[in-house]
């Protein structure tokens, strides 16, 4: 989103005398992750292995995608809000396409465009229905076959839902609240940590691509892959622990800064999901597969309900469960359609009634498709 005169400065939104002090809660979480990685014996070895997987399988691909997306935005300087307003009949499909774009940036743009009067309510429903949020990055990196089915399907469902809403729903919920409620604080110029993060991500992406091609890479340029990944994870935790942002970045920040901040945020959630799953299996003796099988008919409904929770963290967890074979594709699909990712935060801040109604509307196709796949194609993409 474009910055406004009311955008908060870094110094006004961060802690510490320089405006960039560590946030205590985030710092504790970051130190806990690093302590687990440094632990002796099997615990440390497992943690470092999971961190390596999280970095080479997810983080580097997230970084590459965000840099490409935000770089294109900066180069072409396209006013998306104005383009949507002039799109007329194509407004809903374009809004759905922005929502289907991995991450939450596209959906946030549509929510902001609705508040400024550039799009109708059907476009909001379309983008929030189509979006999978940051969980899309995890799915693309680990199950590209499933992503190739789910993302286009969510896109199509978003278009149909938006058109139906525009045809039947005549009430608008625009608030007079300032768009600054959803504006992220401006960080400013590209920082040294952004450059370092990019320099670490480039060889990490090479490793990740090689792994996708089923080519084993033990080291790159003489640097062990595990050491490279741990360095990237540690830098991301450092950035996240000092960040004044909740999740989204300001559109006026540099592409490298936006890549670093948002990748770090996503990585924390992905890492938490990876560790939670493997720790529960390895150390708590939980037979999650048997437990989920016992409540199998309720899994799509549970996943849809989780989708109502604002933010991308819970949705990353559902995707992780799918990747590990604990929930069926039907549950993942229901969650993908019902969840609004981080776009729900600005929607609630700017237009709470619109956010609530859009979430209610997205639940309808989520239930129909999730239980349709569960009943008629239970083994699909599992």
Three-state SS string across 140-166, please?
Answer: HHHCHHHHHHHHHHHHHHHHHHHHHHH
The token pair at 304 is 């849809």
pLDDT value at residue 147: 95
In a domain, 358, yes or no: yes
State the Cα–Cα distance between residues 307 and 304, nearest whole angstrom. Answer: 5
In a domain, 17, yes or no: no
Query: What's this model's pTM, rounded to 2 decimal places?
Result: 0.73
State the Cα–Cα distance between residues 359 and 338, nearest whole angstrom. Answer: 7
* CA angle in degrees (0–180, nearest 5) for 129-358-270: 50
The tens digit of pLDDT for each residue in 171-208 reads 777 665 444 444 578 888 899 999 999 999 999 998 88
In a domain, 222, yes or no: yes
pLDDT value at residue 7: 35
Q: Split the chain (382 residues) into runs of 10 and give each run's mean pLDDT.
A: 35 39 92 96 95 88 82 78 82 94 80 82 94 87 92 97 91 58 74 96 89 72 86 96 80 90 87 85 76 87 90 83 92 95 74 88 96 93 86
In a domain, 79, yes or no: yes
pLDDT value at residue 2: 36
State the Cα–Cα distance between residues 354 and 350, nearest whole angstrom. Answer: 9
Nearest Cα neighbor of 108 from 327, 274, 347 is 347
* Crossing angle for the helix pair 135-142 and 329-338, to the nearest 10 degrees: 150
State the Cα–Cα distance between residues 45 and 209, nearest whole angstrom. Answer: 23
State the Cα–Cα distance between residues 60 and 294, nearest whole angstrom. Answer: 36
Q: Dihedral through CA 56, CA 69, CA 356, CA 129, nearest 10? A: -80
pLDDT value at residue 211: 76
Residues 352 and 327: beta-carbon distance below 8 Å = no
In a domain, 1, yes or no: no
In a domain, 100, yes or no: yes
In a domain, 115, yes or no: yes
222 Ramachandran zone, left/alpha/beta (phi>0; psi -120 to 50): left
State the Cα–Cα distance between residues 65 and 86, nearest whole angstrom. Answer: 27
Give the length of the chain: 382
pLDDT value at residue 164: 96
In a domain, 16, yes or no: no
Q: Which domain holds residue 111?
A: 22-376
Residues 61 and 205: beta-carbon distance below 8 Å = yes
- The total of structural domains in the chain comes to 1
Collapsing DSSP states into helix, strand and coil, what is residue 381?
coil
């Amino acid at each position: 989103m474009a910055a406004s005169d009311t955008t908060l400065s870094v110094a006004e939104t961060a802690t510490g005398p320089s405006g960039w002090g560590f946030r205590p809660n985030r710092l504790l979480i970051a130190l806990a992750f690093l302590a687990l990685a440094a632990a002796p014996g099997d615990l440390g070895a497992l943690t470092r292995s999971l961190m390596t997987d999280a970095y080479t399988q997810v983080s580097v691909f997230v970084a590459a995608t965000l840099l490409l997306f935000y770089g294109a935005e900066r180069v072409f300087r396209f006013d998306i809000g104005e383009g949507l307003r002039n799109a007329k009949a194509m407004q809903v499909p374009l809004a759905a396409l922005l929502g289907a774009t991995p991450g939450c940036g596209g959906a946030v743009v549509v929510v902001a465009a609705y508040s400024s009067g550039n799009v109708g309510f059907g476009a909001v429903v379309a983008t929030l229905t189509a979006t999978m949020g940051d969980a899309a990055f995890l799915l693309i990196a680990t199950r590209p076959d499933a992503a190739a089915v789910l993302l286009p399907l969510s896109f199509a469902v978003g278009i149909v839902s938006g058109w139906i809403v525009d045809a039947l729903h005549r009430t608008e919920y625009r608030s007079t609240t300032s768009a600054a409620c959803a504006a992220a604080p401006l960080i400013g110029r590209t920082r040294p940590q952004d450059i370092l993060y990019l320099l670490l991500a480039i060889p990490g992406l090479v490793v990740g691509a090689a792994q996708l091609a089923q080519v084993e890479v033990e080291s790159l340029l003489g640097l062990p892959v595990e050491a490279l990944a741990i360095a990237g994870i540690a830098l991301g935790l450092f950035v996240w622990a000092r960040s004044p942002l909740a999740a989204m970045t300001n559109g006026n920040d540099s592409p490298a800064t936006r890549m670093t901040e948002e990748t770090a945020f996503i990585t924390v959630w992905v890492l938490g999901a990876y560790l939670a799953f493997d720790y529960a299996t390895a150390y708590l003796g939980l037979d999650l597969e048997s437990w989920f099988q016992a409540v199998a008919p309720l899994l799509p409904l549970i996943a849809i309900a989780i989708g109502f929770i604002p933010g991308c963290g819970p949705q990353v967890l559902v995707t992780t469960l799918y990747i590990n074979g604990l929930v069926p594709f039907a549950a993942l699909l229901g969650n993908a359609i019902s969840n609004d990712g981080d776009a729900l935060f600005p929607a609630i801040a700017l237009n709470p009634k619109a956010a609530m109604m859009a979430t209610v509307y997205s639940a309808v196709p989520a239930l129909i498709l999730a239980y349709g796949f569960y009943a008629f194609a239970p083994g699909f993409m599992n």
